[in-house]
Structure 1
Amino acid sequence: MTGTDENELLDSKQIHDEFGLSPSRLSELYTDRENTGCPEPDEIKGRLRRWKRGTIGPFLIAYRAAKASQSSVRPSLLAGPRDRLLSTSEVAKGMLGHKRTVTLLGWLHDRPGYFPEPDVVEITAGGRRRRFWYLGTVADWIAQRPGPGNTQSKAHTPAAAPAEDGDPEELLDTKQAAPMLGYSSHLELNRAIARGILPELARPDDLVRSDRGLTSNRYKRRRVVALALARQQVPTSSELAQRRMQAAMQALRAASDPDAVTIEALAEAHPGHGSTAAWKKTIDEACSITQAD
């Protein structure tokens, strides 16, 4: 039952019980608060964050309203024959609801293994690559996708988190890394990586290809552990911004070529310091400062 006391302090479990937002999603919104607008906690005790109902409630209402206004209803394509071939535009716009195909192409280029590779690839006379997917391939991916795309109820049993004191060079897949980072499944973790929430994991240490041709990212345990520890810290937005700026300035001044200073490299060197969007903004600002010096 929803409470009425706006000053009552709620932890992540109570927020989940009252507003239906999972602790991992709340953590994502808070980590990327510069872009999501998630409010600062009203109370912090060690690793425990608590918000007043009057603080978190209005934010979640506005957040969901904005999200609902951007959602699009997939047409009856899902009811078609599974062996029907769909173009990149039909998949991106018709089935996934994106305004442009660039999002889907970005997944294929930057996030291998997140979205299925095309079932058919044609090269035109002019050398242009045309990609096609079977409807069944896309429908199966949508059914397993976390969030609004998944209309089926599924019970997940989170895998046990590997011990943090294991071999630091051991390669972990996303199923092993997910519980260490507070995600209930590898699908949630893959989604966070694809959305730029965890730029620290944008570049895997290894890629493993299955017999079906699907790729799976692998990360060294030390990277996952470092990120997990960083996510447990609760610096303020201004502290994070200051740390990012210091890191970006040092990297730019040490680099012979400013283009060599990338979001991925900075995020990996400074885990838990912000999303892809936050790092990009910081690098742009740091470049302007160094150019003016």
Structure 2
Amino acid sequence: MGNTTGDELLDAHQIHEEFGISPSRLSELYRDRATTNCPEPDEKNGKRRWKRRTIAPFVETYQASKQQLSRANPNHPLLAQPRDTLLSTSQVSKQILGHKSTSTVLAWLVDSPGYFPDPDVVESTPGGRKRRKWRVDTIADWLADRPGPGNPLSKTGTPKTSPPPEDGDPDELIDAKTAAPILGYSSHLQLNRAIARGILPELMEPDEVIPGRVTTYRWKRARIVDLARARQEAPSSAELAERRLNAALEALRAAGSTPGSVTITHLAQTHPGHGSVIAWESSLAEAHRQLDVTG
């Protein structure tokens, strides 16, 4: 096999031969690298190539996730209950998803933002522990439309799309059904789930809320188009992280004695396409640490 050290460079086809991930799947994981944590190639000379020591740990995590998801039971009796019934972490993780412990689901929430839905209810015990609960419909919907193993976004989460339309009044208020195709989502349900899971913090505060039997949220067309364009032009994950940190540092310096006024939502809205809620939280926390040290 020639050079089989950790420094050997492997292209997509060699990775397929050695690890079993198809070139198309690897391309999807790399495309969504901001949330899949797929590493940057060590070489981009006409085609992407990774050192074995770079790609191997990611592949192991991916394959473990694939095996874990294969145990899930979308027909479990717990999911036959009324859709607003709350399920505990143990019920979701052990009984429905088939894990031996709850640690996998909890790790998903921390390490793969957007992959697994955030709990619908979080309670604190007198001792300070958190009790997380999910509605039956939250878990059932995720199982029905769950992303591929190791990929926090569904294959339609960030598809190749046409450039966002330039026509239309930029101040026009549009709902999720109109915004979804502009952002590359196949339905308003997928878009709403992405917002609820913190994947699109830019849209967490709508421009208009229309109450009713089903609450409708609407955003200015300009916000949707700007976000779509930013997502299409997203740079590497490392560059995005640097941009988020710089934005957070600038905002905190501008806030002066009121650092609490700097919010994730505001940062995301002023820098569309730069990452999820958890990504921004990490960058803002790092900015606070840096300023505490230098200040």
TM-score range, shorter chain: 0.5 to 0.7
Q: Partner residue of 2:35? A: 32
Q: Partner residue of 1:113? A: none
Task: List aligned pairs for 1:121-132, cutoff 5 A.
Answer: none
Q: Partner residue of 1:291? A: 292
Q: Partner residue of 1:182? A: 184
Task: Look up the SS of the partner of 2:219 in the other structure.
Answer: strand
Q: Partner residue of 1:14? A: none
Q: Spell out, residue by residue over 1:180-213, the C-alpha distance to the aligned partner (whole angstroms, 9 max, x if none).
A: 2223333333333333332222222233445xx3
Q: Partner residue of 2:156? A: none
Shift of 1:271: 0.9
Task: Look up the SS of the partner of 1:166 in the other structure.
Answer: coil
Distance 1:252 1:82 in 2: 47
Distance 1:268 1:97 in 2: 38
- How many residue pairs are counted as aligned between the two chains? 245
Task: List aligned pairs for 1:1-293, cutoff 5 A.
Answer: 7=11, 18=22, 21=25, 27-28=31-32, 30-32=33-35, 36-40=37-41, 43=44, 51-52=48-49, 61-71=59-69, 73-74=72-73, 77-78=76-77, 86-89=85-88, 92=92, 95=96, 99=102, 106=118, 108=120, 141=141, 145-147=145-147, 163-210=165-212, 213-255=213-255, 256-292=257-293, 293=295
Task: Look up the SS of the partner of 2:167 in the other structure.
Answer: coil
Distance 1:41 1:275 in 2: 25
Structure 1: tracts of 5 or more residues without a match: 1-5, 10-16, 111-130, 150-158
User: What is the one-letter code of the residue matched to 2:72?
Assistant: V
Shift of 1:262: 1.3
Shift of 1:269: 0.5
Q: 8 Å contact 2:30–2:38 — kept in the other structure? A: no
Task: Look up the SS of the partner of 2:217 in the other structure.
Answer: strand
Change (3 A) 1:41 1:164: farther
Q: 8 Å contact 1:227–1:272 — kept in the other structure? A: yes
User: What is the one-letter code of the residue matched to 1:27?
Assistant: R
Shift of 1:53: 8.8
Change (3 A) 1:26 1:199: farther
% identical aligned pairs: 35
Q: Spell out, residue by residue over 1:230-266, the C-alpha distance to the aligned partner (whole angstroms, 9 max, x if none).
A: 1122433443233222211121122242122111110
Task: Look up the SS of the partner of 1:193 in the other structure.
Answer: helix
Structure 2: tracts of 5 or more residues without a match: 1-9, 14-20, 110-115, 123-132, 150-160
Change (3 A) 1:186 1:18: farther
Change (3 A) 1:250 1:205: same
Change (3 A) 1:245 1:107: same
